[in-house]
Amino acid sequence: MAKSVDDLAASERAGSPDAADLVRREEQVFGDNPLEVRESDHYTYEYVGGFVEKWDELIDWKKRYASEGSFFIDQLKARGVRSVLDVATGTGFHSVRLLEEGFETVSADGSPQMLAKAFSNGLTYGGHILRVVHADWRWLNRDVHGEYDAIICLGNSFTHLFSERDRRKALAEFYAMLKHDGVLIIDQRNYDAILDNGFSSKHTYYYAGEDVSAEPEYVDEGLARFKYTFPDKSVFYLNMYPLRKNYMRRLMREVGFQRIDTYGDFQETYHDSEPDFFIHVAEKK
Ligand code: SAM
């Protein structure tokens, strides 16, 4: 049986965790059996201390700029978007990009440590004051107010939700916070290729950060556990749910999005097994 977050924390230290504990936490916590950790709440135990710092090495900002180009900006501008809610701010890469392009941007994330890093990155990269909000997607309306022209959830973030109920709840919250003609842009790793081509054909994904590798260490229909190795040999893990592309498209349609275009690595035409990432552009109208 999967261990609860409290069980994990309890196995590490006496007493149950509180918010301050999460903010201070340096080490990732996966407990005795990491393959049993399949919980939507667990991300706050993964994006901590050392890994948050490393994340920016993992995704070298300059190279990421170059590889993404203006794809997201073009999508937003083509729809006349002015206000954007970045629900998976992480260390702030897209929020900063949006502010540079003049979008009114609110930056939300459920990890306090990620938000702290994003805020300082905003100042470092262009002197931007990020409007950060600590919010979990499943209760987004409680902590973030207003309606937005667009919501972005990028960097393979949605994969952290482990139950369909949580996925539907989060998508419903996104839908509710969009204006009547709003757009949701959500991306995901190409898990179909990983699941269908078998574990033996697993390949190492090299991120823009030099010599930083991301490798699927274990995969089944309910878990993709990735290992991230950095040049200084430090190793971190993420436990993720392997979203299939068409399942994801169906969920968005069922929640109410009317039109969903899916791109492979920023291209409109692609062969299903080729792209590393899919990007869904879902319109409410
Ligand atoms: N978008 C950033 C990027 O591309 O660099 C960050 C991506 S990082 C892989 C995923 C982010 O999603 C983390 O910052 C994590 O805290 C956040 N996250 C995961 N599950 C969440 C949830 N249920 N509610 C809010 N944030 C969540």
Q: List, for residues 162-220, the tens digit of each pLDDT value.
A: 999 999 999 999 999 999 999 999 999 999 988 998 655 455 565 555 667 778 889 99
d(CA 45, CA 27): 8
Q: Is the CB of 216 under 6 A from ligand 1?
A: no
Q: What is the pLDDT of residues 57-97, one digit of tens each?
A: 667 788 788 878 899 999 999 999 999 999 999 999 999 99
Q: Is the CB of 188 under 6 A from ligand 1?
A: no
- Compute and round to an integer the Cα radius of gyration of the chain: 18
Q: What pLDDT is stored for residue 10 in this prediction? A: 47
Q: Is the CB of 156 under 6 A from ligand 1?
A: yes
Task: Band the pLDDT of 54: cuts 50, 70, 90.
Answer: confident
Q: What pLDDT is stored for residue 243 in this prediction? A: 97
Provide mean pLDDT across the span 90-119. Answer: 95
Percent of the chain scored above 70 by pLDDT? Answer: 83
Provide mean pLDDT across the span 262-271. Answer: 76
Contacts of 200 (CB under 8 A, 6+ apart): none
Task: Compute the distance from residue 159 Cα to the ligand 1 centre, in Å.
Answer: 9
Task: Compute the distance from residue 189 Cα to the ligand 1 centre, in Å.
Answer: 14
- CA-nearest residue, atom 22 of ligand 1: 136
Provide mean pLDDT across the span 97-122. Answer: 95
Q: Is the CB of 262 under 6 A from ligand 1?
A: no
Q: Which two tokens mark 25?
A: 């936490």
Measuring CA to CA, how many Å separate 114 from each of 45, 53, 210?
A: 12, 9, 22
pTM: 0.88
Q: Is the pLDDT of residue 49 over 80?
A: no
Strands 104-109 and 83-86: parallel
Instruction: Give CA 226 to chain center in angstroms.
Output: 14
How does DSSP classify residue 219?
Answer: E
- CA-nearest residue, atom 4 of ligand 1: 155
Q: Is the CB of 111 under 6 A from ligand 1?
A: yes
Q: What pLDDT is stored for residue 265 in this prediction? A: 80
d(CA 176, CA 284): 10
| Index of the ligand 1 atom closest to the CA of residue 170 | 23
| Half-sphere exposure in the Cβ direction for 271 (13 Å, CA) | 2
Q: What is the 3-state secondary structure (H, E, C) of 75-111?
A: HHHHCCCCEEEECCCCCCHHHHHHHHCCCEEEEEECC
Q: Is the CB of 158 under 6 A from ligand 1?
A: no
| Index of the ligand 1 atom closest to the CA of residue 93 | 5
Residue 278 pairs in a beta bridge with 188, 264
- CA-nearest residue, atom 14 of ligand 1: 90
Q: Is the CB of 90 under 6 A from ligand 1?
A: yes
Q: What pLDDT is stored for residue 14 in this prediction? A: 39
Measuring CA to CA, how many Å separate 250 from each of 10, 27, 74, 93?
A: 38, 36, 25, 28
